[in-house]
Amino acid sequence: MTEAKKPASLGEYKTILPYLARYRRQYILGFLCLLLVDAAQVLIPQFVRRAVDLISLGSINQENGALHRIFLLCLGMAGAMLLIGAGRFLWRYFIHGSSRRIETELRGRLFDHLLVLSYDFYQENKIGDLMARSTNDVGAVRNAIGMGLVALVDGTVLAAAILVIIFIQDASTAAFAVIPLLPITVLILFFGHKVGKQFQKAQETYSAMSDAVQETFSGIRVIKSFVKEWWFIKKFADTNDDYRDANMVLVKTFGIFFPFITFLSGLTSLILLLVGGRRVVEGLMSPGELVALFSYFQMLIWPLMGAGFMVNLIQRGAVSLGRVNAVLNTAPSIVSPAQALRPDPGEHTNEIEIRNLSFSYGEKKVLENISVNIPRGAWVGILGRTGSGKSTLLKTLTRMVDPPPGAVFVRGVDVRDWDLEMLRSLFAVTPQDSYLFSDSIRNNIAYGLETPDESIIKGSAELAALDRDLAAFNEGWDTTIGERGLTLSGGQKQRTAIARAFVMDTECLILDDALSAVDAETEQRILRGLLEERDRKIRAGRSFAAVIVSHRVSTLAYTDFVLVLDQGRISECGSPRELLDKGGFYAQMAELQRLEDARG
């Protein structure tokens, strides 16, 4: 995902047009109510003008009915005020309500798209930044299509109506009074450009702060273990200060802009008093007309201030929408082909076939010339030093990373030709990190089930040797674990993740070093349970293949054959007994682990 550093253009709003079109009726009704409010507002100074003229002429008495006319004018003003109140409620209901709904839909679309994006996207983008785009930026878009549009329409209509009225009422006085408004227009244009760049900087620092917070709380165990709270406090304080400084730049800009506009607007009152007052003295204008002009020019302050407010919201929205669009415009790098294949599982004897597989992350070669056939129902072990490419090899099977065409086949079909969802549903995977959700143990195990089944959940937990820990859980299977399984031990986390894979009941299980945190006795119980599960499936006419990555030779002894990887290549291949006789890396690891066990 690439993102330009220059301020986003208003062209970003093209992506929001379909949403506005969907809610066009609500927006139209809202703007009609807004226009009604503006019409009522410009009427009030006319009521005041007529009342002041009646008073200034000294014609208030019971005989000529002047008092009655002033009473009627007051009733008219009260009616206009009621109309303004009702209209403001309605335009807020229609326009702000619609902008809130669009915000919800946009955030939902962004979340849905994030789930579609491939694994490599999350390697290149930080979670804190994505959270900032999903919250802060989407909120800024809502403000732009809500209050930003209101300020645009309201300010334009109200200013235009007021200018027409004051020029009709007294053109010469109005011509002098509007002179200070000309530099305000230039100032607004300059202000909008400046705010766009400053707000983008503020959003970027907000993302950095979100990253720091997310990273801190995700790694709270490590932080406390190393007594590094002080370092992360400092790191957050630095990013927090950067966010404050970026926003203070915006505050200073507003601090100069709005008072200056107020000063220029105040000049109109000064000019009006000098020019209009003279015309009243000369009898060319009535006192009521002067009071009305004062009211109209006071009303002009909102459109002028609203113009700056509108520019601010629209620019902020454009910047934020640009950041959201950068995610939405990112296509997943791994997708199902247009004509996905759905092969018959009984057509091929090989479950998995790898032909001369080579794979690189950028310029870093991870796998080189890997070739192996895994028959249906076979158990395969993978052993190798850290960084030898074991996990990457497993990821090519499910297209978490994309292998080259013609390199990896499942049931005789290139994985790139499979429907992606169907391909991944063939495998039950327990990855190295054993990620758990902040939910109950029961729901974490049942994660792969469409409909939770108590017997399946308990059977999978028993198979993963998790049932013996039930007494240690405060609320049994309904015990809520912390984020990422914070309240569980490493072994309990791994066994919960293994049980979650077991409930999938697939014909191929992948364990990526998933037994590293369990003791030897528990490991043996789990593996014996898996052997029993394989026998049960064979009796039922089904196969049960397994790919097991482990650093323990005792684990790999249960497999049919073992691949030993060294710097991305297969250095040894054979049954556990054959590899022991060869005296290679596998045999060396077996001897080392035997000595460790002997020493206790």
The structure tokens 């169907």 sit at 422
The proportion of the chain whose per-residue pLDDT surpasses 70, expressed as a percent, equals 91
Residue range 244-271: mean pLDDT, rounded: 78
Residue 361 has a pLDDT of 87
Model's pTM, two decimal places?
0.76
Contact yes or no for 113/328 (Cβ under 8 A): yes
Q: Which of 196-205, 298-307, 559-568 has the highest mean pLDDT?
A: 559-568
- Run of H or E including 425: helix 420-425
pLDDT tens per residue across span 177-200: 777 777 776 776 666 667 667 777
Residue 594 has a pLDDT of 82
Residue 151 has a pLDDT of 87
Contact yes or no for 164/300 (Cβ under 8 A): no
Residue 503 φ/ψ, nearest 5 degrees? -65, -20
Sign of CA dihedral 250, 251, 256, 261: positive
Q: How confident is the model at residue 4 (pLDDT cuts 50, 70, 90)?
A: very low
Angle at which helix 181-218 crosses helix 229-281, to 10 degrees, equals: 160
Cβ-defined contacts of 564-568 (< 8 Å, 24+): 564/383, 564/384, 565/382, 565/383, 565/384, 565/388, 565/389, 565/390, 565/393, 566/384, 566/385, 566/388, 567/368, 567/388, 567/389, 568/365, 568/366, 568/367, 568/368, 568/370, 568/388, 568/389
Sequence-distant (≥ 6) Cβ neighbours of residue 267 within 8 angstroms? 180
- Taking the C-alpha atoms of residue 86 and residue 74, their distance in angstroms, rounded to an integer, is 18
Q: E-assigned strands of 185-258?
A: none
The answer, yes or no, to whether residue 59 has pLDDT greater than 80, is no
Residue 61 has a pLDDT of 53
Sequence-distant (≥ 6) Cβ neighbours of residue 400 within 8 angstroms? 119, 334
pLDDT tens per residue across span 227-238: 778 888 888 888
CB atoms within 10 A of CB 561: 18
Q: Burial letters for 498-515: b for 16+ Cβ neighbours within 10 Å, e otherwise? A: bbbbbbbbbbbbbbbbbb
SS (H, E, C) 3-25: CCCCCCCHHHHHHHHHHHHHCHH
CA atoms within 13 A on the CB side of 484: 9
Residue range 351-357: mean pLDDT, rounded: 91
Choice among 14-18, 133-137, 176-180, 494-498 with the minimum mean pLDDT: 176-180
pLDDT tens per residue across span 555-588: 898 899 999 999 999 999 999 999 998 888 999 9
Q: How confident is the model at residue 65 (pLDDT cuts 50, 70, 90)?
A: low
Q: Using DSSP, state whether 371 is helix, strand or coil.
A: strand
Residue range 360-379: mean pLDDT, rounded: 89
Residue range 141-159: mean pLDDT, rounded: 89
The answer, yes or no, to whether residue 359 has pLDDT greater than 80, is yes
pLDDT tens per residue across span 511-543: 988 888 888 888 888 888 888 888 888 888 888
The answer, yes or no, to whether residue 459 has pLDDT greater than 50, is yes
Specify which residues 367 forms β-bridges with: 359
- Taking the C-alpha atoms of residue 28 and residue 14, their distance in angstroms, rounded to an integer, is 19
Q: How confident is the model at residue 21 (pLDDT cuts 50, 70, 90)?
A: very high
Sequence-distant (≥ 6) Cβ neighbours of residue 565 within 8 angstroms? 382, 383, 384, 388, 389, 390, 393, 571
pLDDT tens per residue across span 425-438: 889 888 887 788 87
For the record, the structure tokens of 69 come out as: 């006319």
Choice among 55-69, 131-145, 324-338, 549-563 with the minimum mean pLDDT: 55-69
pLDDT tens per residue across span 134-143: 888 899 899 9
CB atoms within 10 A of CB 158: 22
Residue 528 φ/ψ, nearest 5 degrees? -65, -35
Q: Using DSSP, state whether 421 is helix, strand or coil.
A: helix
For the record, the structure tokens of 295 come out as: 């009211």
The answer, yes or no, to whether residue 285 has pLDDT greater than 60, is yes
The answer, yes or no, to whether residue 350 has pLDDT greater than 70, is no
